[in-house]
Amino acid sequence: MPPLILVADHDPSQRQQLAESIRGFGYEVETTEATSQALIRLQRNDAPQISLIVLDLTMPTTEKITLKKILALTHLTPVIVATPHGQLDAVISATDAGAHDFLVKPVAAERLLVSIKNALAQHALTREFQRLYCYQKNALRFQDLVSCSENMARALRLAERAASSTIPVMIEGETGVGKEQIARAIHNASDRKSKAFVSLNCATLPEEMIETRLFGREKDPENHKVDKHTGKLIEASNSTLYLEEIGKLSLNLQLKLLRVLQEGDVEPIGARRPTRVDIRLICSTQSNIIDLVKSGRFREDLFYRLNVFPITLAPLRARQKEIPDLARKFMFKFSAEEGCKVNRISDHALSLLMKYEWPGNIRQLENAIYRAVILAENEELDVAEFPQIAARVEEFEIEIPPAPIIKLEPAEEKEFTPVEIRDPNVLPLIGANGEIRNLADIEENTIRFALYHYRGQMSEIARRLGIGRSTLYRKLKDYGIDEPSEDIFTPGNSLVA
């Protein structure tokens, strides 16, 4: 959905002219004839969110008080003021109060378009910096999350209600839909926000290690190699504990967690006495917990303890309205982080992104935007910056450049004994010709294997390979390796050539 712009002008002809010009630019428009009406519209929660306001400064005296209220109310929404030539004092007062820009009537269409684009771009960049600052300070808020679809708006309303209590919350949704961000926002809107947000992924570690991480371990006096470890349940006392992929916990650990919730005591491994804790528990899963209960893989009594306040996050394909805002948010974020000059996404590219299914949801979109920003040669991202996406969407088929051909001198033929590599996790150093394989070939196979082994998690792959994410994306491009889709991560498939 295009940004919605509100025009408030007491002059009918000027109001109509501005509205027609803005519609011609491709934006949605609403109009009012007075700032008092604009104030009422801005305070409505049941209407689409206003992205930008164009305000007339030549209002009656009674309206000027309302103008100040609007500028105070819209500190998070850019405001452009319009005034006849010669009213310099009014312009200075408005800009001092928070107006982004001013226009002199009659407004030229070109000047209006430039002002709107600049205001929206600067506002998006400011919000992204605020969001990143809040995230780094563990202060992510509900207003920092994109929620222009009804599915997401409903989920956020539930999450805000959950934040005002201490009852357990269960967040369900596919991988990459933003479950942890919702959990962080709930914590930061609660009475426990002054304490650190503690999290643990239950799917990434073996049972023995999960037990130590979750419940803790006392130092073994007879085994000096076993040190004391404070468990997440104790670490999160008087705060919030977020357990990701709760459905992956073994039945044994489910029983131990149930006892903690029932009794409020944690007994670390090897401890002589339990430790009293007070935690707010938020869990998430991409599995249907009810199905796990029916199949006997999840305890029914624990399910009822955890599923007090369920929140379901829809996949990105069901929230297409959010894709443009999310894409712009990621673009500004990565452009600022990487020092790139990219500052906009073409309408054609946004149309492509909205037609793709996004099996990896928001995380996949984020990776796609990051790759595009890193490899872009211009200030605008277009369809050409998303070749892997365009190849999977009808009407957007473009030619993906082939992988570069590495010219190698033919090796002298020698007799050799083939070496059979039985372990699929071992990459061979000897080629079919009996000679050591070249480094580029080994590096390509290593990257392909890492893509499969870490299921396309680009940040994790870059960290494990000891390179930056931007370097990883450049190597993918050099070797002609497509970013894997979700269906490649199934038994029997392999990315290693």
Would residue 302 be called left, alpha or beta, if left means φ above 0 and alpha means ψ between -120 and 50 degrees? alpha
Answer yes or no: CATH 3.40.50.410 is held by domain 142-314. Answer: no
Start-end ranges of CATH 1.10.8.60 in the chain? 317-400
Q: How many CB atoms lie within 10 A of CB 188?
A: 22
Tokens of 457: 């998690």
Q: From CA 466, how far away is CA 18, in angstroms rounded?
A: 54
Residue 388 and residue 382 in contact, taking contact as beta carbons nearer than 8 Å: no
Q: From CA 401, how far away is CA 385, in angstroms rounded?
A: 12
Q: Which of 217, 435, 472 is nearest to 338 (CA)?
A: 472
Answer yes or no: CATH 3.40.50.2300 is held by domain 4-133. Answer: yes
Choices 2.170.150.20, 3.50.90.10, 1.10.8.60, 3.30.360.10: CATH for 317-400: 1.10.8.60
Residue 140 and residue 134 in contact, taking contact as beta carbons nearer than 8 Å: yes
Count of H-run helices and E-run strands, the chain = 19, 14
Start-end ranges of CATH 1.10.10.60 in the chain? 417-497
Q: Which of 176, 177, 199 is nearest to 187 (CA)?
A: 199
Q: How many CB atoms lie within 10 A of CB 111?
A: 12
CATH architecture of 417-497: Orthogonal Bundle (1.10)
Q: From CA 226, how far away is CA 217, in angstroms rounded?
A: 9
Residue 112 and residue 22 in contact, taking contact as beta carbons nearer than 8 Å: yes
Would you give per-residue pLDDT tens digits along the chain (497 residues)?
A: 678 899 988 888 888 999 999 999 888 999 988 777 877 887 776 778 888 889 887 765 545 555 666 666 655 678 888 887 666 666 676 676 677 788 888 888 889 998 998 888 877 777 766 666 555 555 678 877 877 788 888 999 999 999 989 999 999 999 999 999 999 999 999 999 989 899 999 988 888 889 999 999 988 766 666 678 899 999 999 999 999 999 999 999 999 999 999 999 999 988 889 999 999 999 999 988 999 999 999 999 999 999 999 999 999 999 998 999 899 888 888 887 787 888 889 999 999 999 999 999 999 999 999 999 988 888 899 999 998 899 888 887 665 555 555 565 665 665 555 545 445 566 777 777 777 888 888 888 888 888 877 777 888 888 888 888 888 888 888 888 876 654 444 444 444 44
Geometric angle at alpha carbon 320, from 318 and 323, rounded to 5°: 130
Q: From CA 323, how far away is CA 318, in angstroms rounded?
A: 10
Strands (E) in 34-176, as ranges, are 52-56, 79-84, 101-105, 169-172
Start-end ranges of CATH 3.40.50.300 in the chain? 142-314
Tell me how far apart the 2 most distant CA atoms of the chain are, in Å: 97
pTM of this structure: 0.61
Instruction: Give backbone dihedrals phi and psi of 450, rounded to 5 degrees, phi first.
Output: -65, -40
Tokens of 301: 């009594």
Q: From CA 84, how far away is CA 106, in angstroms rounded?
A: 7
